Structure 1
Amino acid sequence: MCRWEPIDIEHSYFPIEIGIEISKQKDLNQILTYRFIEQELNINLHEAKQIVSAVNASRDEARTLNIPIGDALLYTESLSLSTIGEPVEYLQSVYRSDYFLNSNS
């Protein structure tokens, strides 16, 4: 039996023009964000700059991820840019560290 556990929390931020177009989609759970941006909005993605570090789980993060407060999390922050150097998405994520230790399960 497969047991579903949350492994991360992501927060995406978009320029207003992109955000408006994404918000018009009927089912945001089914949208492939980067494909939509490139194919529907005709914005070519070029690169992303990313920072990776470790943080301790806050009360809200711990509750959402079903882990103890203060557990180690992998933190990432990235900025995706178009081919003309304009920001397309700013993303902040935290990942359960045990997910990477048990990736075969």
Structure 2
Amino acid sequence: DSGCTIVSCQVQGAREDGIYVEGLHSKVRVEHSEIRGCKHGMWVVAAHPIVKGNCFMDNAEHIRLATRSCVPILRDNSMSMSMPTLIPVSSDLRPREAVGTVEAVETV
């Protein structure tokens, strides 16, 4: 299976390294994630930026959009030429108490 699947992830504030969610104006790290089918990691593209300290009422929607598709990245964080792969995302995503944090658990 060469597809990229987010098994579990937690998005928190901006970080310097790791796996990132790319928004219009910012990048945030996806922490505590298990990626299957991506050797070094992955990029997920968000419709809107998710920034540490910002509180979105629709944070779950931001994460849902962010995890809709992905492409693998290399160890040096350069984009691969792989086509985006659709990722099934749990419909049971809700904002958590922690600002800027949403947890997505996917059964595969």
How high is the TM-score relative to the length of structure 1? 0.30
Larger radius of gyration: 1
Is the helix fraction higher in 1 or 2?
1
TM-score normalised according to structure 2 size:
0.30
